[in-house]
Amino acid sequence: MKILTIGDVHGRDYWKDVDPDKYDLIVFVGDYTDSFTASNLEIKKNLLDIIEFTKANSGKVILLLGNHDLPYFWGESHSAISGFRPEAIWDLHIIFRDNRELFQTAYQIDNYIWTHAGIHAGWYDRYMPDAIKKYELTGNLADQLNHLFERNFDPLFAISHHRWGSAQEGGPFWADWNEMYRKPLQGYHHIFGHSFREKPIKTYNKKGNTTITCVDRGDIREFYELIIK
């Protein structure tokens, strides 16, 4: 299976260069919104184009939500961050609301898992064992995270001091590169954006069963190809 991961978009349309016929699956890691350069109209149109691209390639495109998308997804400005467009919140909220079924928190194939910011062991060990018991979660890790999002599970959105927050551990929407680099959840190949890197980054643990791949390179077009046999 040939998979293409597309990094944080932030209103840019470089993803339109992708030929979907060349891939079995295309994963966007979120952050379709907020920008210091794109206009409100450009952000809105680009989001609509991504949604139409997803519908035209049904079952082949995965849309993850990013931390920048959440205020618009919920229609609440209290969680806004850098680049936020308060004047665009209602228009974007309607788009997310009307296409809610297309967006998710995590996606997984075997032990390859995609989230916006990554899943590190500190966060998982602190929150997930109790959540699995409390909500009787089943399925793989991505299924569990998607279920918790529907329950508005607050730790998913935790922001640690690495990102100027007050939580002890950053969640899958906010985990920082330092958290992922030091203690990624073992046994998974993590693919995520969110943490800007000047160069494409991929690291391995000594056992080879855990990798972290960051695909956010800021203003640089970022595609990451992966083949899973």
The residues spanned by each domain of the chain are 2-227
**pLDDT (tens digit per residue) in 141-162:** 999 999 999 999 999 999 999 9
Paired tokens of 57: 């390639």
Distances (CA, A) of 133 to 8, 28, 136, 147: 33, 30, 5, 13
Instruction: Note the pLDDT of residue 71.
Output: 95
Dist. CA 121–CA 139, nearest whole Å: 19
Q: Return the SS3 of 26.
A: strand
- Give the global pTM: 0.94
The answer to whether the Cα torsion of 86, 88, 92, 94 is positive or negative is positive
Domain at 2-227, CATH class = alpha beta
| Residue carrying the six token digits 């609509």 | 48
Q: Provide the β-strand partners of residue 118.
A: none
pLDDT tens-digit profile of 5-27? 999 999 999 999 999 999 999 99
